[in-house]
Amino acid sequence: MSAIRIGLYGGTFDPIHKGHMHVITALFARDLVDELVLIPAGQPWMRSDAPTASSHDRLEMTKLAVSELPVEIAAHVSISDLEIKRSGPSYTIDTVKEIQALRPDAHLILILGSDAFAAIDKWHESAQLRSLVEILVIARDGEGLDINALPISATTIRTLTQTHLEDSPSSVARYIKEKNLYGRQ
């Protein structure tokens, strides 16, 4: 029997939105992973600004979003707080090594949008990272697996009108309103 395929899908998830959910659903619909681990970033070192929502809020929104997935998909999706609990910059290589230690029998697949993949050579210990995981690139304005990615941006949700909350799963939109995240009432 071949090794279990575990997808690692990280992001700031500030907030998690329907575009992320579309990727998750497509990964399972196309039988690209057996399990998927969502990893909210702790301190993304390549961003010029820190996430707007707290680590706790981003983790909670991710949990809410997963709860809205169809049960047959949600059963195979977990959420890791490894990066949120780690102090200092969030380096993907460190996260991969930690998950590899927990699941040495697994084949790890790093899920990246083509925009993130375009900068992978600048990532901390990029060469070693590439030797430890398979990289699956999802097309977003570039090369990669075309899953008809949704043109949704977390930045738009954070900064534009209230109507953009519909780009997040309904439980996430409610959470954003209840917690007054991103200046929402």
> Would you say residue 142 has pLDDT above 90?
no
Question: Measured between alpha carbons, how far is 80 from 34 in angstroms, rounded to an integer?
Answer: 16
CB 144, CB 137: distance < 8 Å: yes
Question: Of residues 43 and 169, which shows the higher confidence score?
Answer: 169
Model confidence band, residue 157 (pLDDT cutoffs 50, 70, 90) = confident
The average confidence (pLDDT) of the chain is 90
Domain architecture of the chain: domains with CATH: 10-87+103-178 (3.40.50.620)
Nearest to 56 by CA among 78, 80, 84: 84
Model confidence band, residue 164 (pLDDT cutoffs 50, 70, 90) = confident
Measured at the CA of 175, the angle between CA 170 and CA 176, to 5 degrees, comes to: 95
Percent of the chain residues topping a pLDDT of 90? 65
> Would you say residue 184 has pLDDT above 60?
no
CB 108, CB 96: distance < 8 Å: yes
pLDDT in tens, 89-109: 889 999 999 999 999 999 999
